[in-house]
């Protein structure tokens, strides 16, 4: 089967059908599908449709509880704790975004810790949602073991994404989103699915040797961005996402890709700041001055701009799935409609 072009609504419907056919409630299937389709539209394919097969088999096996309802607890004046209850991360993250959007304007700053969670996808999406409500936002997440401590050769941490977003009035928010490995692990998984090689320098194999084989890379460890400095940031995010939420560390968590094992029970932390009281309502103009200074230089662009461009194109033209993945989805329960 050749590559398949799908309108976003069709990919949304396909994803929901597959998840529903793999023991996931309709409400959860819709929220998960929305997150995966947005990732695909943004060009973040490692967090998009390529995740559907692994999500589905984990829901069917019970490694992820497709019927879980997150539990929100207001634990302090400006602090929320959310138990994802071994379910998909997106329903819990949506609860966190809604809770912080209501809380931060009253308290100035607010935090939401999510425990017993799963793969959080594109970290930039949650902070973008908060920025669209006028808040400055930060996100931290951990995941199954993928990165060794600097100088070591055994994985301890996940790729540990972090994201930041700031509101820009009538413009799309500024969004900075990165994993702390040299490349997101999802990109390596996507390459493995279609049999493509990866650039040398992304990862090492199980013996610590550089590799261009994505399957060998998945069995080995990722290299941190920034070498030793990046490894320190990885540790910081691990503490904020997992220790603070009393979740499992990377070396304790099971894989996001396979159906075997217990739930990964990783954690996420979202912070939301109302910029108005802190900046005497001058945040917007000051941010505008800074960003203008950047974009006035030829050849520069702001973080996240390419993502918004791809999103607009996908809304019009749809997205293209590799033939092997498209066939795999069609062959899954729920995939044929």
Per-residue pLDDT of 121-175, as tens digits, reads 999 999 999 999 999 999 999 999 989 888 777 889 999 999 999 999 889 999 9
pLDDT, position 151: 79
Q: What would the two tokens of residue 321 be?
A: 């799935």
Alpha-carbon gap, residue 281 to 275, rounded angstroms = 7
Q: What would the two tokens of residue 87 be?
A: 């379910």
Provide mean pLDDT across the span 9-22.
98
Alpha-carbon gap, residue 90 to 55, rounded angstroms = 12
Give percent of the chain above pLDDT 90: 80
Closest by CA to 184, choosing from 152, 206, 217, 153, is: 217
- pLDDT tens digits along 226-257: 888 999 999 999 999 999 999 999 999 999 99
Give percent of the chain above pLDDT 70: 99
On average, the pLDDT of the chain sits at 94
Alpha-carbon gap, residue 56 to 299, rounded angstroms = 42
pLDDT tier at 337, thresholds 50, 70, 90: low
pTM across the whole model: 0.92
Phi-psi region of 151 (alpha: psi -120 to 50; beta: other; left: phi over 0): left
């Amino acid at each position: 089967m050749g590559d398949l072009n799908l309108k976003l609504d069709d990919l949304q419907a396909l994803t929901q059908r597959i998840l529903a056919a793999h023991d996931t409630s309709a409400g959860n299937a819709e929220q998960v599908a929305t997150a995966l389709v947005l990732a695909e539209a943004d060009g973040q394919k490692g967090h998009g449709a390529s995740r559907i097969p692994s999500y589905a088999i984990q829901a069917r096996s019970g490694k992820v509880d497709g019927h879980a309802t997150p539990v929100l607890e207001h634990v302090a004046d400006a602090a929320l704790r959310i138990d994802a209850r071994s379910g998909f991360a997106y329903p819990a993250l949506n609860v966190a975004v809604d809770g912080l959007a209501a809380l931060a304007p009253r308290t100035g700053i607010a935090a939401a810790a999510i425990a017993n969670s799963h793969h959080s996808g594109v970290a930039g999406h949650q902070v973008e949602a908060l920025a669209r409500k006028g808040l400055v936002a930060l996100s931290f997440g951990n995941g199954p073991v993928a990165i060794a401590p600097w100088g070591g050769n055994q994985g301890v941490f996940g790729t540990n994404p972090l994201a930041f977003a700031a509101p820009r009035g009538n413009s799309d928010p500024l969004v900075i989103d990165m994993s702390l490995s040299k490349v997101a692990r999802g990109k390596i998984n996507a390459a493995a699915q279609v049999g493509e090689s990866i650039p040398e320098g992304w990862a090492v194999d199980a013996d610590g040797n550089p590799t261009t084989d994505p399957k060998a890379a998945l069995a080995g460890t990722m290299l941190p961005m920034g070498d030793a400095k990046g490894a320190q940031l990885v540790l910081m995010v691990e503490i904020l996402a997992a220790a603070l939420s009393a979740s499992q560390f990377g070396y304790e968590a099971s894989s996001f890709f396979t159906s075997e094992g217990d739930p990964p029970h990783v954690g996420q932390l979202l912070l939301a700041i109302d910029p108005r009281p802190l900046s005497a309502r001058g945040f917007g103009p000051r941010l505008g001055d800074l960003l203008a200074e950047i974009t006035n230089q030829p050849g520069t662009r702001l973080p996240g701009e390419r993502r918004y461009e791809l999103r607009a194109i996908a809304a019009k033209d749809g997205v293209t799935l590799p033939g092997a993945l498209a066939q795999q989805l069609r062959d899954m329960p729920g995939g044929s409609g």
